[in-house]
Structure 1
């Protein structure tokens, strides 16, 4: 049997919780009799087998207790070879009365009943010990409600919530998680509704890092539960001033293709577009990382393109309805999809994502226009988002941002490459074509990066494998590379050749 260190380390002010956890574990491992035995341990010369059995159990119990103590406490008890003596020594050291309820209640029976879904026995236990629902009864500081949630027993959760106060529902374990936070990990909608009917404030209680339940639900891909929690979460809890939950919810909604939530949140508070999430990335950068969200990232055969063009999506402005009831909007959209054939459903969802992402990008561009602070743009990942979009080949993203903010055409990456040098390097022809609309095209084409490479050098460098793999056969790939070099040479001839010859 493996001996693991306890998650709760014994300190001066937590002996009650510590002793409950240690006792429960010792009983679960059939080691508690070593501590509570009132008879002398067997002697080796009298019964060698009994002595060996006692020695093994004593060693494991002793190790468990030592592993759950801090360095100072261990130094005081390391010479003691009896687990029972160590237990009594610690009880005496921390001056805990022997009749303390926390120390004497045997919670292992409650734990086993809850884990097995046996509400009858759990109910009997709670009649004898009504305060047990508010006690932390495991090493991790879990309450009986936490255990019921993890075990997935909805009926037990509902019975316990009915008997608990609103304050008890807010009890956190040692990891800073409430029982609701445990629910969002598994995505049980019925359990969440049960708790939130009793205490709606639970949606505003974050974990130890301040991450709200709605964000955790989205991170774990529980979209339906995330929508329900979002409808109950106060907007002020998602503001950047309150932490990273708002920005993280936006970025995760984009990553998980739940664009309606991201759009609704950005519409309500546009500065979130440039706020940083827990990974130090902004929603703008997240959108630049998702080719699926734009038509340029979708490659359709001709008949699918025709069907795509025939699909009508209501203006993304209709997402105002989300403010009233986000779940009803989702149901209405789902009903629309059901009326279509299965082959059209994918195209409908694709076009819906494209419409929503275009509206989302429009609001983000307006926020960029309102922010003339270069430092805020840098921190908000505006420049890195542009170059990420170029790498991904998202023409719409680059076009909308540059059109709304013409000064961003002078953006440079960390290698001092501008938008068009980067477009050539990644073989993004449609993005490079934007150069023909500029009056200063000759200046931009002539620019060089930190290594003194110009745009012709970019064309001569190896293309990304992802771009080349779209072209079948090595011969056609080589042909494509030569075409790129010829096009850039032609552009240089008309735009900047006189300047290049003068170098």
Structure 2
């Protein structure tokens, strides 16, 4: 209590040292008193002048910084709680002073006076320079005056609506100092232009006054950071090249940290990489939202190859493309030089993939153009992945060289690691493991779960497979229990999050994946701990059964519905092919009863394919009938039920394909001697059913085969040797 009273008394003494508290009703009186106070303390010069362009290490800058800090504290102390919120983000006394002035000068009952500016406002909205010039000639002061209750000038309004020619004329008719006028939100016209993203507007303003590049708005953002937060890449390219590097120095402001995190969020990795080269210390600086670059990267799985959702062919092209390191850098003169045209990208890719070269040699022009666009898109994906990995490596190098173990938690490294684990960013965890192997035993604050447990909870097989390569660490991590007494096998028994569960179509497939996860984690857990009970008194198996009861029912329903649909198709094929066996094309010889075309090859093909189609459709019927009669216990979803589905679908596909072959053979017999223009369209259309099956059903079929009989999502690589103190284990 004594310390608390001393702090209250201390604050009262500090407030008593400055003029009376600022309220909504005493601004003019407060302004006079505060100015006199600052003059008496020798601090008024930092309020009356702009921030000097000095190096952060110079003695003059250090003097200015100390005086600015004292003046800003005095202004904040004299403000009431509500007024203090208005200048909370301001970093200079001048910005705070000007912002308070803009609020009270516009909030004194003179809103009606802005009615006279309505014609000008309308002309600015329309981009009508002729009407705007007439008004400005009539009222010359208006060119740099405020024309709305929001404190906007004509340039603010024009920038808001993006009229380039009008803005160029306005800028030419304004004094350079007028471009720095701010609205109530403390935005200059360049801040507004940065949001709009029209680079020509920004160029016109900066050509008139480069000071605009370093002016901060109400929340402390300079124009380039506003553009980055808005995702305007061309605007960022221009403003970043024009902005003085000292304005981004983390020792003088948070602008560099904000720009770094905003650039990463907007996939402008070349800007982020350049920033880190200029100021490596930005790697550990918090932005105004309480994030570092590491936190932002940890939230972007698509920035890395492990999070790029590519199809089979896209992955092949991705591997064949080579990204040059120079493509990932920031080119101030012309960034486009770092990017190659689609044609060169394609040949670069095809030089690694001769198979594609042969195929594409015979492709039509339209297909070629579509493919060029597709390869360009994949190239950009790989370039982004390459740049993001470069940034991550730069950050980890700086952290490793400049911080000790006790400081890692202070800059939020562990929280970023937990987020990256939750989202499955394998590259992120690999980089962290290289210099921080003990992170495997760190636990999050919410559930006291380690990285292995988080990976299992969120079903991130990439992270899980990575941890499995370190046998000693993985087994030691598996012994740990979380805040609820769950070991890692308990967590495998909890139902997967919907976002991870819905990756697989069909409840039966989802149940199979859940069982595979449980069995795989069970191998990792020592036998002595597989029957451990959590704080609720449940074993892992009991927890799994309770959590997956509804999914088992849904899986049974899905299997039976799928089997029913397939049985209908198989039944139709059986009926048709049985009838076709006795109504052969060409008919029978009336004397011998032997088919007329018996000795033709096409007729032999017809008979064989008809028989094969009939037998396979009958087999398919029986297999799907067996699915109805099988027990739907949860363990049967692991292999027995999926295998029945595989055999049923395989025989059904064979029956459909052989049916179409029989149809084609029959057509060749009937249409023999007919013109090509007559027979060819029929033959082409007969291929449509098979093509539809191949495109729509084969991917699903191969997925079932892959997860049931193939390697699945879990890989078993050679274990890595990691040096750890056995006492920790």
Residue of structure 2 equivalent to 1:352:
383
Query: Take 2:171 and 2:260, find their aligned partners in 1: how far apart are those partners?
Result: 31
Residue of structure 1 equivalent to 2:432:
401
CA deviations over 1:379-438 (Å, ceiling 9, x no partner): 433111111111111111111111132232232111221111111111222312324425
C-alpha contact (below 8 Å) 1:377/1:383 kept by paired residues: yes
Displacement after TM superposition at 1:215 (Å): 1.4
C-alpha contact (below 8 Å) 1:371/1:377 kept by paired residues: no
CA deviations over 1:56-97 (Å, ceiling 9, x no partner): xxxxxxxxxxxxxxxxxxxxxxxxxxxxxxxxxxxxxx9x9x
Of 497, 510, 514, the match for 1:464: 497
C-alpha distance 264-186 of structure 1, shift in aligned 2 (>3 A): same
Query: Take 2:435 and 2:486, find their aligned partners in 1: how far apart are those partners?
Result: 29
C-alpha distance 114-484 of structure 1, shift in aligned 2 (>3 A): closer
C-alpha distance 139-489 of structure 1, shift in aligned 2 (>3 A): same
CA deviations over 1:95-131 (Å, ceiling 9, x no partner): x9xxxxx989954443344334332343233334433
Report matched runs for 1:476-491 at 5 Å.
476-491=509-524
C-alpha distance 491-180 of structure 1, shift in aligned 2 (>3 A): same
C-alpha distance 455-180 of structure 1, shift in aligned 2 (>3 A): same
Displacement after TM superposition at 1:279 (Å): 2.0
Tell me how many residue pairs correspond in the alignment. Answer: 403
Of 289, 292, 301, the match for 1:282: 292
Query: Take 1:376 and 1:307, find their aligned partners in 2: how far apart are those partners?
Result: 42
Residue of structure 2 equivalent to 1:185:
195
Query: Take 1:407 and 1:334, find their aligned partners in 2: how far apart are those partners?
Result: 42
| SS in structure 2 at match of 1:369 | helix
Query: Take 1:216 and 1:281, find their aligned partners in 2: how far apart are those partners?
Result: 17
CA deviations over 1:427-454 (Å, ceiling 9, x no partner): 2223123244253444322111122211
Displacement after TM superposition at 1:291 (Å): 1.2
C-alpha distance 430-114 of structure 1, shift in aligned 2 (>3 A): closer
Displacement after TM superposition at 1:455 (Å): 1.2
Residue of structure 2 equivalent to 1:56:
none
Residue of structure 1 equivalent to 2:121:
111
C-alpha contact (below 8 Å) 1:183/1:191 kept by paired residues: yes
C-alpha contact (below 8 Å) 1:446/1:500 kept by paired residues: no
Max Rg structure: 2
C-alpha distance 367-410 of structure 1, shift in aligned 2 (>3 A): farther
Report matched runs for 1:40-59 at 5 Å.
none
C-alpha contact (below 8 Å) 1:115/1:148 kept by paired residues: yes
Query: Take 2:391 and 2:129, find their aligned partners in 1: how far apart are those partners?
Result: 48
Residue of structure 1 equivalent to 2:508:
475
Query: Take 2:407 and 2:434, find their aligned partners in 1: how far apart are those partners?
Result: 20
Residue of structure 2 equivalent to 1:297:
307
Of 387, 411, 436, the match for 2:418: 387
Residue of structure 1 equivalent to 2:267:
257
Q: Does 1:328 align with 2:334?
A: yes
Displacement after TM superposition at 1:355 (Å): 0.8
State the TM-score, normalizing by the size of structure 1: 0.73
Query: Take 1:124 and 1:241, find their aligned partners in 2: how far apart are those partners?
Result: 48
Residue of structure 2 equivalent to 1:420:
452
Residue of structure 1 equivalent to 2:631:
none
Report matched runs for 1:89-238 at 5 Å.
106-238=116-248
CA deviations over 1:10-53 (Å, ceiling 9, x no partner): 87649xxxxxxxxxxxxxxxxxxxxxxxxxxxxxxxxxxxxxxx
| SS in structure 1 at match of 2:251 | helix
Query: Take 2:160 and 2:382, find their aligned partners in 1: how far apart are those partners?
Result: 38
State the TM-score, normalizing by the size of structure 2: 0.52
In structure 2, the gaps of 5 or more residues are 1-23, 30-107, 347-371, 534-729
C-alpha contact (below 8 Å) 2:342/2:375 kept by paired residues: no
Of 457, 479, 489, the match for 1:446: 479
C-alpha contact (below 8 Å) 1:264/1:319 kept by paired residues: no
C-alpha contact (below 8 Å) 1:288/1:394 kept by paired residues: yes
In structure 1, the gaps of 5 or more residues are 1-8, 15-93, 97-101
C-alpha contact (below 8 Å) 1:113/1:122 kept by paired residues: yes
C-alpha contact (below 8 Å) 2:147/2:154 kept by paired residues: yes
Of 383, 389, 398, the match for 1:367: 398
Query: Take 2:498 and 2:324, find their aligned partners in 1: how far apart are those partners?
Result: 38
Query: Take 1:440 and 1:339, find their aligned partners in 2: how far apart are those partners?
Result: 42
C-alpha contact (below 8 Å) 2:158/2:167 kept by paired residues: yes
Query: Take 1:137 and 1:104, find their aligned partners in 2: how far apart are those partners?
Result: 6
| SS in structure 1 at match of 2:176 | coil
C-alpha distance 486-106 of structure 1, shift in aligned 2 (>3 A): closer
Query: Take 2:319 and 2:474, find their aligned partners in 1: how far apart are those partners?
Result: 34
| SS in structure 1 at match of 2:472 | coil
Of 416, 429, 452, the match for 2:461: 429
C-alpha distance 242-438 of structure 1, shift in aligned 2 (>3 A): farther
C-alpha contact (below 8 Å) 1:402/1:408 kept by paired residues: yes
Using CA pairs under 8 Å that are at least 6 residues apart, name the structure with larger relative contact order, 1 or 2. Answer: 1
Superposition CA RMSD, Å: 2.9
Displacement after TM superposition at 1:147 (Å): 2.1
